[in-house]
Structure 1
């Protein structure tokens, strides 16, 4: 018998312990019969007034050590599918890095499919038939370089980008809408065909839907695009309004 709430699909969601945005975003975009069950990846809320490549690499090592036990915990709920609610690890080391990362996660989960930010953005941009993009992140350069590399290797030209350089993981969720609007206008331009926002703890889903209209081009909030990938990969075609054009039109 199916789950009485998740009678269509149960999603196991992996999210950083510091992240306070992605979980409510996924609940906000819920559809009947699909449930999201969160398992937290431990992450220390370390302050950052600068960022070195070495510090970024050390965090990645610790994160990788957390992934298997985090997945094992949520597997006890018997999910049908996995959703990665953290975007940076999915962009690391370019396109091949993403494919290798996903293969490891599927090994940990016993072969379950997994929506992830990098792959979801690539799919969305290809459907939108755009090639020149601008990128907004909450990261520092040592992290956003991985994002730019991924998109470049996937066949897109990153013509502009902006790093908000948030001082800690928790501080990402403190970025207000006015600052995001200003950043979007800063990276927009005539050559930009679409804007992509990375960082699942940035409060962007509803603002991206608004920005799509006043900029007159696709603005992809990563949480909405990840959720779109999760739904469509499971043949759930419900249209959602107010969260961007992917969930509305594709």
Structure 2
């Protein structure tokens, strides 16, 4: 028997306990008959002040993520969505594919990841050279560059905002993000990509595509788009970028 509200699909969404942007973003992009059910990865120490702290936060996530998957599976969800992006870029293509295999092993379900969603979106747009905005320290940016290089894209410029804590990522203002997009843009760039699911970029990316005249891929929009399309849901969503509006 179908769920009363999720008569099409139930998505299990894994997010860090510190993340305050993914959940409202996914609700904003909701389509009839599809529901998102959040399971939080406990972050005990949210310090991101340097490369070592960034690595330590990811180590916490690797310990806790299986528990988050197990909890949301009790809701009998149909599909998994990773609501954090850094771990999906870590280790390049091999790291991403290993992450996907782990989620499938723990849940038995397919999963949408931010890294793979960006890969699909960039291929769809025919982009080759990209500018990237992240909230990360240098080590995070290095892993983003590694992933994109390995799948055939050139990162022409990258702007890491070096947010000091996990919660602070959500405090980055629209003006700061707008300036970051301008910094990584250029005539030598085919598309812009934003990583970091706790950055609030979905609405701004939709606007920026008009004044920059090129694709601007907000990671939460791309991940939600991948999740919908992977499940045969073709509904268009407006105000969240070209991916959800046109493809």
Residues 14 and 68, structure 2, Cα contact 8 Å, conserved in 1: yes
8 A contact 2:145–2:155 mirrored in 1: yes
Corresponding residue for 1:10?
10
1:124 counterpart residue number: 121
User: Deviations 1:119-151 (Å, cap 9, x if unpaired)?
Assistant: 000000001111000000011101111111000
Distance 1:61 1:196 in 2: 25
1:149-171 C-alpha deviation (Å, 9 max, x unpaired): 00000100000010111111111
CA distance change for structure 1 residues 51 and 172 in 2, over 3 Å: closer, same or farther?
A: same
SS at match of 2:217: strand
| More off after superposition, 36-45 vs 121-130 | 36-45
1:154 is matched with 151
* SS of structure 2 residue aligned to 1:189: coil
Contact 2:138 2:160 in 1 (8 A): yes
Deviations 1:38-82 (A, max 9, x none): 00011135344x412x43333222211111110000000000000
Q: 1:59 aligns with which of 57, 63, 70?
A: 57
Looking at structure 2, the residues matched to 120 and 5 of structure 1 have their Cα atoms a distance apart, in angstroms, of 26
* Unpaired runs of at least 5, structure 1: none
Which residue does the alignment assign to 1:68? Answer: 66
The residue correspondences of 1:33-112 to structure 2 (distance < 5 A) are: 33-48=33-48, 50-52=49-51, 54-109=52-107, 111-112=108-109
Alpha carbons 2:217, 2:241 under 8 Å: kept: yes
Structure 2 distance, partners of 1:178, 1:89, is 27
What's the counterpart of residue 201 of structure 2? 204
- Contact 1:18/1:44 (8 A) holds in 2: no
SS across alignment from 1:37 = strand
Match of 2:173 among 173, 176, 194: 176
TM-score, length of structure 1 as denominator length: 0.97
**CA RMSD for the aligned pairs?**
1.0
Residue 199 of structure 2 corresponds to residue 227 of structure 1: no
Q: Secondary structure at the match of 2:2?
A: coil
Count of residues in correspondence between the two structures: 247
Task: Extract unaligned runs of 5+ from structure 2.
Answer: none
When residues 132 and 196 of structure 1 are mapped into structure 2, their CA distance, relative to the original with a 3 A threshold, is: same
1:194 partnered with 2:199:
no
- 2:47 and 2:57 in contact (8 A); partners too: no
- Structure 1 stretches (4+) deviating beyond 2 angstroms? 44-48, 54-61
Residues 45 and 170 in structure 1, CA contact (< 8 A), matched pair in contact too: no
- Asked if the contact 1:88/1:143 (under 8 Å) is kept, the reply is yes
